[in-house]
Structure 1
Amino acid sequence: MENLRRTFPGTPPVEVLRGVGFTVRAGEIVGLLGVNGAGKTTLLKILSTLLLPSAGKAGVCGIDLAGHGHEARRHFSVVFGGDRGLYPRLSALDNIMFFGGLSGPRRNLRTRALAALAEVGLAERARSRVETFSKGMRQRLHLAVGLLNQPCLLMLDEPTIGLDLMEAERVRDTVARLARAGTAVVLTSHYPTDIDRLAGRVVLLDSGTVTHDLPIAEFRRQAGFTAEVRLSGPGVAPQDAAALLTDASVRIDQHEEGWKITFQVGAWDATVLSRLTEVVRRHPVADFDVASPGVEAVLRRLALNHG
Structure 2
Amino acid sequence: MDSLDTAIDAVGLTKSYGAVRVLDGVDLAVRTGSVSALLGPNGAGKTTMVRILATLSPPDSGRAKVAGYDVERERGGVRRSISLTGQYAALDDLQSGAENLRMMAKLAGLGSRGARVRAAELLDRFDLAEAAGRRVGTYSGGMRRRLDIAAGLVGDPSVVFLDEPTTGLDVRSRQTMWSVISELARSGVTVLLTTQYLEEADRLADRVAVLDGGRIVAEGTPAELKQRVGGGRVDLTASGPAAFGRLRAALGPRALHADPAEHGLSVATDGTAAEVRRLLQQLDPECVLVERFAVHEASMDDVFISLTGGTAASDTDGLASRTGGTGGEVARV
Taking structure 2 as the reference length, the TM-score comes to 0.72
Asked whether the equivalents of residues 250 and 261 of structure 1 are also in contact (C-alpha less than 8 Å), the reply is: no
Asked whether the equivalents of residues 47 and 194 of structure 2 are also in contact (C-alpha less than 8 Å), the reply is: no
C-alpha RMSD of matched pairs (Å): 3.8
Q: CA deviation at 1:67?
A: 0.9
In structure 2, relative to structure 1, the CA distance for the partners of 1:305 and 1:135 (3 Å cut) is closer
In structure 2, relative to structure 1, the CA distance for the partners of 1:249 and 1:128 (3 Å cut) is same
Q: CA deviation at 1:127?
A: 1.3
Partner of 1:105: 109
Partner of 1:188: 194
Flag as ranges the 4+ runs of structure 1 deviating above 4 A.
228-231, 247-251, 259-265, 272-275, 288-291
In structure 2, relative to structure 1, the CA distance for the partners of 1:55 and 1:261 (3 Å cut) is closer
Q: CA deviation at 1:302?
A: 2.1
Partner of 1:88: 93
The alignment partner of 1:72 has SS state of helix
In structure 2, relative to structure 1, the CA distance for the partners of 1:204 and 1:91 (3 Å cut) is same
For 2:23 and 2:268, the matched residues in 1 are separated by 37
Taking structure 1 as the reference length, the TM-score comes to 0.78
* Between 138-147 and 262-271, the greater mean CA deviation after superposition: 262-271
Q: Does residue 206 of the first structure (1) align with residue 212 of the second (2)?
A: yes
Deviations 1:206-253 (A, max 9, x none): 34433322122111223x33224689xxxxx9xxxx9xxxx99899x9
Q: Please list, as runs of the form range in 1=range in 2, the aligned pairs for 1:17-36 lying within 5 A after superposition.
A: 17-36=23-42
Q: Please list, as runs of the form range in 1=range in 2, the aligned pairs for 1:296-307 lying within 5 A after superposition.
A: 296-304=301-309
The alignment partner of 2:28 has SS state of coil
Deviations 1:100-141 (A, max 9, x none): 323x22142221222122221112211111122111110111
Q: CA deviation at 1:69?
A: 0.8
Partner of 2:272: 269
In structure 2, relative to structure 1, the CA distance for the partners of 1:25 and 1:94 (3 Å cut) is same
In structure 2, relative to structure 1, the CA distance for the partners of 1:228 and 1:207 (3 Å cut) is closer
Partner of 1:173: 179
Q: Which amino acid aligns with 2:92?
A: Y
Asked whether the equivalents of residues 41 and 311 of structure 2 are also in contact (C-alpha less than 8 Å), the reply is: no
Gaps of 5+ in 2: 1-9, 245-250, 279-292, 313-333
Partner of 2:330: none
The alignment partner of 2:79 has SS state of helix
Partner of 2:12: 3
For 2:136 and 2:266, the matched residues in 1 are separated by 47
Deviations 1:172-225 (A, max 9, x none): 011011112211111111111211111111112334433322122111223x33
Partner of 1:279: none
Partner of 1:129: 135
For 2:77 and 2:93, the matched residues in 1 are separated by 30
In structure 2, relative to structure 1, the CA distance for the partners of 1:198 and 1:88 (3 Å cut) is same
